Amino acid sequence: MMTNVGMFEEEKIRKQVKFLQAKCRKAGKRIKELEEIEKSHQTMNGKMHSELEIEKKNNTLLREDLQSKDLEIGRMMKKLSKS
């Protein structure tokens, strides 16, 4: 036989369990949302790193091209000054 106090305690515990279950479901949904956001950020970050590497290579090529043109201009200036 259960006392009156015990009946109220069980109801209180049931309410707490329902409340916590609802919180867990909500937290689970939020975790899934955050995982999707993280995956999207990782994808964007990977694309940005690829683009950055391409830009670095293009910059290097441009510098090399400018250096070779500067050398050629220097050679031409020497020839003109000798004439």
The total number of structural domains that make up the chain: 1
Distance, CA of 17 to CA of 36 (rounded, Å): 29
Is the Cα torsion angle 18, 23, 24, 25 positive or negative in sign?
positive
Domain assignment of residue 59, yes or no: yes
Residue 69 sits in which domain range? 30-83
Tokens, residue 32: 């899934």
Is residue 54 included in any domain, yes or no? yes
53-64 per-position pLDDT tens digit: 999 999 999 999
pTM for this prediction: 0.58
18 within a domain of the structure (yes/no): no
Is 2 a member of any domain? no
Mean pLDDT of 68-78: 90
Q: Is 49 a domain residue?
A: yes
Report if residue 6 sits inside a domain. no
Q: Is residue 47 part of a domain?
A: yes
> Residues 10-60: pLDDT tens digits?
888 999 999 999 999 999 999 999 999 999 999 999 999 999 999 999 999
User: Alpha carbon 51 to chain centroid distance?
Assistant: 14
